[in-house]
Structure 1
């Protein structure tokens, strides 16, 4: 598979989950990777104990892994209740409480990309009210991220798996990105281009890559169907990764796929070992 000069980072919230959280960085390193990313690891704690943050920081550093991406608090992931920032009440309050915690943790590890997941539509709440809340919270997140020179990512999920999520297309996600940048003037909101979600939505991936690479801050991949490793489904990653390279994308490619029935260490046969370490 033609992966060229792309840099790959392993998502430790979907791979190596057969291991306790603090053992996953070392496992990724043993598989040849020097870069990792994470969803917010504490689904019930937007503000975890300092000891928990310190323990994860030490695990990442001791393994020699670089943290390249981190989600803000987003509730239960994976799951139908994912996302928080646009949900009125307790969930959006948790998101706000998490902003500085997540930014400070990311900054302490040199991580400069934070993903802010939109929440589901809530029955009985006007959609415009939710969108206004989302924009306000994304603005807060972008201003906080600017302190450490980071970008805030806005991701499109897919309608079949997230039917209540309003951000289920590349144009809609980029529209939100543009509105955040207009509000802050910081130009540090970016599109998270997840090729699995976009393919599940039936979008033309070539068209998405051509149109939005310039506003993309991170790319994630998984094959479709099944959300497995490249080569387990029908997506042509030689073509897609080549097209990303051709359009000028030189950022991280996040491996955010399910390992299947084997231990996660066996889910990387498609990627030659010399290409796993960040260069």
Structure 2
């Protein structure tokens, strides 16, 4: 979202739109950014007056199409080297949600080896943020042929493997857009698992636009998730520029009852 703005201007844009919390993909080009880069990022969040509540772990070159490196043995060292930075940001901001993208298959590496590598790296990530109250989030993705984690069952299986390795701070990230595009039965998923979701993200389909631009009953699903026991944050992750990203919210805010003191 807000990709027409420089990254460090986006927290202020979110604040101007009325939000008090933001989340980011890994906001640096490398797994181990310099102190000045980290300080500039932290300053942009603090000066905007918003909370950082979600952060992707280092996931490779997202702009070039990479979607995670934790299942790639050749990239494990880079992933592990980023964990201190992620934990440091969490310590300074109170961030508690950390999305760990599984990664596309590495050529020449068996599925068994990739899965073992992923669990080892996820366990390390869980250890890095456990003492800060952090949760490692596993997100099924759409639109990526060959991506190993596409369904809720795929994601829950990975969560189960991490917990079997002795780390309890792992959970499913339910992005309703990705799951719906991949054919998931969202109402059944909510009924069975919403209380254990680690996080929810929203975008409409088709098109991955703002709520109301597609055909997904996002309000119905989010209400159902809360009714089924979900108590976490619900975030927006759709395609939208700074001039149009939040225009859809006006009708909902106008219709909402005034909050009582």
**Interval containing the TM-score (normalised by the shorter chain):** over 0.9
- Number of matched pairs: 258
**Cα displacement (A) at 1:68:** 0.7
1:138 to 109, 122, 126: 122
**What is the alpha-carbon distance in structure 2 between the residues aligned to residue 53 and residue 201 of structure 1?**
35
1:211-230 to structure 2, matched below 5 A, reads 211-230=192-211
In structure 1, the partner of 2:66 is 81
Q: Structure 2: 5+ residue runs without aligned partners?
A: none
Flag structure 1 segments of 5+ consecutive residues without an equivalent.
1-14
Q: Which residue of 2 aligns with 1:5?
A: none
Q: SS at 1:254's partner residue?
A: strand
Higher helix share: 2
Q: Does 1:232 align with 2:213?
A: yes
CA distance in 1, matches of 2:70, 2:93: 24
3-state DSSP of counterpart to 2:201: strand
User: Do the aligned partners of residues 133 and 271 (structure 1) sit closer, same or farther apart at CA in structure 2, a change above 3 Å counting?
Assistant: farther
Q: What residue in structure 1 maps to residue 21 of structure 2? A: 35
Question: 1:242 & 1:112 partners in 2: Cα distance?
Answer: 23
Which structure is richer in relative contact order (CA contacts within 8 A, separation 6 or more)?
1
TM-score w.r.t. length of structure 1: 0.87
How far apart are 1:123 and its partner, in Å? 2.6
Return the TM-score normalized by structure 2.
Answer: 0.93
Correspondent of 1:177 among 159, 165, 186: 159
What's the offset of the Cα at 1:76?
Answer: 2.4
Root-mean-square deviation over aligned CA pairs: 2.0
* Equivalent residues in 2 for 1:1-279, closer than 5 Å: 15-42=1-28, 44-77=29-62, 79-89=64-74, 91-158=75-142, 161-184=143-166, 186-259=167-240, 262-266=243-247, 268-269=249-250, 271-272=252-253
Looking at structure 2, the residues matched to 203 and 94 of structure 1 have their Cα atoms a distance apart, in angstroms, of: 33
CA distance in structure 1 between the partners assigned to 2:242 and 2:95 by the alignment: 31
Q: Cα 1:218–1:149, aligned 2, differ >3 Å: closer, same or farther?
A: same
Q: Is the 8 A contact 1:67 1:110 kept in 2?
A: yes
